[in-house]
Structure 1
Amino acid sequence: MKRSGILHAELSGALARLGHTDKVVVADCGLPIPAGPTLIDLAFRFGVPSFLEVLDGLLAEVVVEGAVVAGELAAGNPVIASGVAERLGETEQVQHEEFKSLVAGAALVIRTGEATPYANVILRCGVPF
């Protein structure tokens, strides 16, 4: 049994297989998920687990060198926008429709129970050295 960190076996394994520049999407429960990326569905019910809870868990285990959010996030969901900015600093912004098309190129999508608009981020993996 792991002492700490992400306990979800499938998610933990998927994170261990990521490499430099692979993309991981943390998604709200409404984001359309295309065929292609591995999907880890954590959504239990609306709001559980929250987007920021899942993001915090990932950031404790994965090196991130960049991130993309929908340009509509700041106006459409200021609470999540503030949380993302606190955790990730400056992010690239694209229109929501373009964001959805970028999801197909991700290695991994993690679906949360978040039920607020634009609560999605694409994380680009870095290396710890």
Structure 2
Amino acid sequence: MKITGILNHSISEVIASMGHYQEIVICDAGFPIPPGVKRIDLSLTPGMPAFLVVLKTVLLELCVEEVVIAEETGIHSPARLLDIRNIFSELTPTVIPHTEFKQRSKTAIACIRSGECTPYSNIILVSGVTY
């Protein structure tokens, strides 16, 4: 058994396999995960686990170079946008329409589904390199 880090086998495996510029999505409970993209469904009940808990846990192991969010996040969930900006204070999120966000998710390595029910609690993390 692992001593530290992410215990979830699927998440750990995906992060370990990612290369530079590859993408992973962390999404809310209602996000339409595209067919063919690896689904890692963590949802248990509405709100559990929370989007921010999943995001912060993934960031313990993933080097992120860019983040992508839907422009609707700031319109419908401004507090969530503020959370994301605070977590990624060194990065300026790329903001695209939600329809484009859904299209882009089709090429992600995986989608991690949280139990979050706050609208537009979705993010694409673009992997960086540690050197």
TM-score, with length taken from structure 1: 0.96
More displaced stretch, 2-11 vs 23-32:
2-11
More displaced stretch, 118-127 vs 73-82:
73-82
Give 1:75 shift. 2.0
| Runs of 4+ residues deviating >6 angstroms | none
Q: Give 1:64's aligned residue.
A: 64
Cα distance between partner residues in 2 of 1:79 and 1:5: 28
Cα distance between partner residues in 2 of 1:8 and 1:121: 20
Deviations 1:61-101 (CA, angstroms, capped at 9, x unpaired): 10000011000111211221111101123100011111111
Paired residues, what number? 129
More displaced stretch, 62-71 vs 86-95:
86-95
Cα distance between partner residues in 1 of 2:96 and 2:10: 30
In structure 2, give the amino acid aligned to 1:122: I
Cα distance between partner residues in 1 of 2:128 and 2:67: 11
Give 1:110 shift. 0.4
Cα distance between partner residues in 1 of 2:10 and 2:98: 28
Give 1:5 shift. 1.4
Unaligned residue ranges in structure 2 (runs of 5+): none
More displaced stretch, 64-73 vs 8-17:
8-17
Q: Aligned residues: percent identity?
A: 39
Q: Give 1:8's aligned residue.
A: 8
Cα distance between partner residues in 2 of 1:10 and 1:33: 16
